[in-house]
Structure 1
Amino acid sequence: MSSEPDDPEVTARMRSAHAVACGFVGAAPDAQPSGGEGQEAWGWRGRTLGRPVTGPYGPGWLRVVHSPLDKATGKLWTGPEAAERLIPRQVPRPRLRRVRQWTEGGDAYKAELYDRAVGETLSPTPVLVTAEPPLTARWWSDLRTALVHLSAVRTDRTAVRQAYLDRAMPKYLAFLGGPVPTRPPSWSTAHGDLHWANLVGPELGILDWEGWGTAPAGYDAALLHAYSFGMPERAERVRQELSPLLDSEDGRFAELVVITELLQSAERGDNVELVPALRQRAKEVWHRTAADGVKVLLREYD
Structure 2
Amino acid sequence: MRLTATARAPAPGTSRRITATVTSMTLSVSAGQAVDLRVQSVDSVLDRVERSLQVRLLPDTVVRKRRSVGARTVRDTWVRIERRSLDKIPDQGWNGTESAARLEGIAQPEWHGCVVWRNPDESAMWRADETGLLPGAPVGSAILSEAPELTDDWWEALNASLDALAAQDTGRIATPDTVTITQALVTESIRGVFSADFDTTVERWVPAHADLNWANMTAPTFSLFDWEDWGSAPLGLDASSLWASSLAVPALADRVRRERRSDFESRDGKLMTLFACSKILGPYAHPEDPRLELARRMAEQVIEELQAG
Q: TM-score, normalised by structure 1?
A: 0.80
Aligned pair 1:254/2:272, yes or no? yes
What runs of 5+ residues in structure 1 fail to find an aligned partner?
32-36, 294-302
Counterpart of 1:111? Answer: 128
For the structure 1 residues 154 and 252, does the alpha-carbon distance in structure 2 shift closer, same or farther, using more than 3 Å as the test? same
Q: What's the CA shift string for 1:156-208, capped at 9, x where partnerless? A: 2222210112222111122xxx2133112322111111000011111111111
Q: Which letter does structure 2 place at the counterpart of 1:199?
A: M
Partner of 2:185: 164
| Distance in 2 (alpha carbons) for counterparts of 1:14 and 1:139 | 36
- Is 2:81 aligned against 1:53? no
Give the 5 Å matches for 1:99-248.
99-107=114-122, 108-123=125-140, 125-132=141-148, 134-159=149-174, 160-174=181-195, 178-248=196-266
Match of 1:281 among 282, 298, 305: 298
How big is the shift at 1:255?
A: 0.8
d(CA) in 1 for partners of 2:183, 2:22? 32
Give the Å deviation of 1:17: 1.3
Identity %: 26
CA distance in structure 1 between the partners assigned to 2:92 and 2:145 by the alignment: 30
Task: Report the AA paired with residue 53 of structure 1.
Answer: T
If the length of structure 2 is used for normalisation, what is the TM-score? 0.78
Who is 1:299 aligned against? none
Residues 137 and 71 of structure 1: is their aligned pair in 2 closer, same or farther, counting only changes over 3 Å? closer
Stretch of structure 1 that moved more, 15-24 or 250-259? 15-24
Number of equivalent positions: 273
Instruction: Report if aligned partners of 1:76, 1:210 keep a CA contact under 8 Å in 2.
Output: no
Letter of the 1:147 partner, please give it.
L
- How many Å separate the matches in 1 of 2:203 and 2:90? 31
Distance 1:15 1:270 in 2: 39
Taking the aligned partners of 2:21 and 2:306, their CA distance within structure 1 comes to 41
CA-based RMSD: 2.9
Conservation of the 8 A alpha-carbon contact between 1:52 and 1:61: yes
Does residue 40 (structure 1) correspond to residue 55 (structure 2)? The answer is no
Distance 1:285 1:165, change over 3 A: same
Asked if the contact 1:75/1:211 (under 8 Å) is kept, the reply is no
CA distance in 1, matches of 2:219, 2:92: 27
- Alpha-carbon contact 1:69-1:103 (below 8 Å) kept: no
Structure 2 unaligned residues grouped into runs of 5+: 1-15, 28-36, 175-180
Conserved in 1, the CA contact under 8 Å of 2:235 and 2:268? yes
Specify which structure has the higher proportion of helix: 1
Q: Which residue of 2 aligns with 1:78?
A: 95
